[in-house]
Amino acid sequence: PLSPQEHGLDFQRLLDASAYKETYRQDMIRWGEEKRRADPGFFCRTVVEGAVQPVWVVSDTRRLSDVEWFRDVYGDAVQTVRVVATEETRKRRNWVFVTG
């Protein structure tokens, strides 16, 4: 398992929809899951480290444990919004489901 910083990967290339990213996707997922198992708040703390603005928008929390971490740490200040799109709408936006 790997992180971009620990293994010298090109972070900018990992942000786009490229074959480069797909080459490392499964290893990055495994690395992230190992980090979460060892410390469920690892990524949440990393995101807020050094933040000073009074309002934050966290645009992608895929796990309930992330939402729970923010609620535990910040209490009633946390507001959640879930945006839902039909599969048809997603396809019009060029979304394609890929197994795995």
Structure confidence at residue 88 (pLDDT): 95
Phi, psi of 36 (to 5 degrees): -65, -40
Q: Report the percentage of the chain scoring pLDDT > 90.
A: 34
Distance of CA 92 to the CA centre of its chain: 23
- C-alpha pair distances (Å), 32 with each of 5, 29, 83: 13, 5, 24
3-state secondary structure of 85: coil
Return the pLDDT at 1: 43
Chain segment 33-49, per-residue pLDDT in tens: 888 899 989 999 988 99
pLDDT category at 94 given cuts 50, 70, 90 is very high
CB 67 within 8 A of CB 61: yes
